[in-house]
Amino acid sequence: MFLLVLTEDAREDVREAYNYYEGISPGLGEDFLLILEQYYRTLQENPFLYGYTDTSKTTRDVAILRFPYVIIFEVHNSTVIIYTVHNTYKQIKP
């Protein structure tokens, strides 16, 4: 089992998404969090299921199927570091 670590940027992404979806429909933000937790569990069990996002083969990503988000992460030894939970409708911050 891998240790899962979220950066502060990733935590902020999740807060923003939750608030956005709860504003659209009460309970939708909770649905987002439940689905996100399922992805977190999968990443803890086997982060190597997901492909690289770059040619240097450092960062990986996984698309969240029900919502327009992608989790960008890296594996270091026995730790999965989540850098962002990115809304695919937004441009990535430099």
What pLDDT is attached to residue 91? 62
What pLDDT is attached to residue 50? 93
Q: What's 43's domain CATH number? A: 3.30.2310.20
Amino acid letter, residue 15: R
In a domain, 94, yes or no: no
Query: Which of these, 78, 80, 68, 74, lies nearest to 13 by C-alpha position?
Result: 68
Residue 10 sits in which domain range?
3-87
Q: Which residues of the chain have pLDDT under 70?
A: 91-94
DSSP state of 91: P
DSSP string across 65-85:
TTTTEEEEEEEETTEEEEEEE
Distance separating alpha carbons of residues 5 and 40, to the nearest angstrom: 10
Q: Percent of the chain, pLDDT > 90? A: 88
In a domain, 92, yes or no: no
In a domain, 64, yes or no: yes
Produce one character per residue of 31-67: b if its CB has 16 or more CB atoms within 10 Å, e if not: ebeeebeebeeebeeebeebeeeeeeeeebbbebeeb
Whether the predicted model's global pTM rises above the 0.85 cut: yes
Domain count, the chain: 1
In a domain, 68, yes or no: yes
In a domain, 71, yes or no: yes
